[in-house]
Amino acid sequence: MTDALRLELSRALVVAGFILYIPANILPVMTITITGDVEPLTVMGGVHELYEGGLAPVAAIVFLASIALPLAKLVAAAWIVSLHGTGLLQPRRMAVHGFLIRIGTWAMIDIFLLSVLTAVGQLGILASVQAEIGAVFYAAMLICVLFAVDVYKPHMIWQEAAAEAK
């Protein structure tokens, strides 16, 4: 794959990630049924439930890991590809790219936990957990960020600037 194609694909994946971020956070990601009380929850709704349940530290962790961090990763990936071809902040972009690659393997932890909760949380008429369409958008958004960062290779940060200098 050529570097030009890598750049365009990375840009497209970042844009798709931003588009998917909206329904991922507006639509319910799961429905919890406890003794007949059915409650669909968005990611932010889950944070609110944890906070209202007296679990403020857990709510803060879920907010950071499930809302703030994915948005920060999208913004960082957009920043990297938007500065492509310039000599601006190359060491900083390399560091951010490396950080995004390192934390990328943990991106799907939310979806993994939802799948475990769905499998384990089936207690018949007492309680159940069901994944919803928001989880699909959320997973797709995370995959777009993972691929956008992976497709954009670090050498591209330096190659284009070297070509401009000639």
Residue-wise pLDDT tens digits, 88-105: 999 999 999 999 999 887
The residue extents of the domains of the chain are 3-161
**pTM across the whole model:** 0.86
Report whether pLDDT(162) > 70. Answer: no
Q: How far is CA 158 from the centre of its chain?
A: 26
CA distances from 61 to 66, 72, 88, 106, 122 (A): 8, 15, 33, 14, 25
pLDDT 10s digits, 33-81: 877 788 898 999 989 988 998 989 988 988 998 899 999 999 999 999 9
Who's near 124: CB < 8 A, 6+ residues apart?
none
